[in-house]
């Protein structure tokens, strides 16, 4: 049985104002550094007229199987002040994720400057609050470590493969091209059993990239 961890249940945004400045706390689940960076870029593109877009995330550094000597999943923790005074934005945002022991999560705080300087303390409080409110809006859930698998098969076997995947109850997307490609998100503890079932059902004709 794999250990569980805390993360957010969905993407969400919380908004408030402090002395004329508008803060938007965007929070989303992310299983990889690439997914976290992609979310940061999406927010920056959508709010490119904002004064600052401050990112912070805590996600696995590599595969879910990569662990520290103590058995913990290795996390990549990142934050940036994005032009705010040093230590006033990114670190307070990341601190919220650390203190609430949430991982596989990315946050971006968007700020529209309202004409009044808030000072380092005021900024730190506002950026912390934006992440806290965003996390509360998204909801904290208990989750199990997952791994992504890509399963490719010929059309003849695609119905069999799909029924095995559906019976396992895992998240997946299917892409029907020359061959059929299934992208799966499988709890780490269930990967080996599912791989065995897929190979058995197709007499080993399925290709599994993990």
Long-range contacts of 190-193 (CB under 8 A, 24+ apart): 191/147, 191/149
**Class of 5-143 in CATH:** alpha beta
Left, alpha or beta for 209 (phi > 0: left; psi -120 to 50: alpha)?
Answer: beta
Per-residue pLDDT of the chain (210 residues; tens, 9 = 90+): 347 899 999 999 999 999 999 999 999 999 899 999 999 999 999 999 999 999 999 998 865 455 555 556 789 999 999 999 999 999 999 999 999 999 999 999 999 999 999 999 999 999 999 999 999 999 999 988 778 899 999 999 999 999 999 999 998 999 998 899 999 988 888 999 999 999 999 999 999 987
What is the phi/psi pair of residue 167, to 5°? -70, -25
pLDDT per residue over 149-202, tens digit each? Answer: 999 999 999 999 999 999 999 989 999 988 999 999 888 889 999 999 999 999
Whether 146-209 and 5-143 are alike in CATH topology: the answer is no
The CA distance from 202 to 45, in Å, is: 44
Half-sphere exposure of 13 (CA within 13 A, CB side): 12
Which CATH number applies to 146-209: 3.10.270.10, 3.40.50.970, 3.40.50.720, 3.30.70.240? 3.30.70.240
The CA distance from 210 to 193, in Å, is: 14
Q: Which of 5, 9, 2, 32 lies closest to 189, judged by CA?
A: 2
Task: Classify the C-alpha dihedral 22-99-33-87 as positive or negative.
Answer: positive
C-alpha distance from residue 26 to each of 57, 100, 136 (Å) = 11, 16, 11
Query: What are the sequence ranges of the domains in the chain?
Result: 5-143, 146-209
């Amino acid at each position: 049985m794999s250990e569980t961890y805390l993360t957010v249940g969905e993407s969400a945004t919380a908004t408030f104002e402090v002395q004329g400045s508008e803060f938007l706390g965007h929070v989303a689940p992310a299983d990889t550094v690439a997914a976290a960076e992609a979310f940061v870029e999406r927010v920056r593109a959508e709010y490119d007229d904002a004064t600052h877009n401050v990112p912070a995330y805590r996600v696995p550094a590599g595969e879910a199987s990569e662990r520290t000597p103590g058995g913990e999943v290795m996390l990549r923790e990142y934050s940036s002040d994005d032009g705010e005074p040093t230590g006033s934005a990114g670190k307070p945002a990341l601190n919220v994720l650390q203190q609430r022991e949430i991982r596989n999560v990315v946050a971006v705080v968007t700020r529209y400057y309202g004409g009044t300087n808030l000072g380092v303390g005021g900024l730190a409080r506002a950026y912390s609050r934006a992440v806290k409110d965003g996390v509360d809006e998204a909801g904290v859930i208990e989750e199990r470590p997952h791994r992504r698998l890509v399963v490719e098969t010929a059309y003849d076997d695609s119905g069999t493969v799909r029924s095995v995947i559906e019976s396992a109850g895992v998240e997946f997307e299917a892409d029907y091209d020359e061959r059929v490609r299934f992208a799966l998100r499988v709890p780490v503890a269930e990967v080996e059993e599912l791989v065995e079932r897929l190979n058995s059902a197709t007499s080993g004709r399925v290709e599994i990239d993990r």
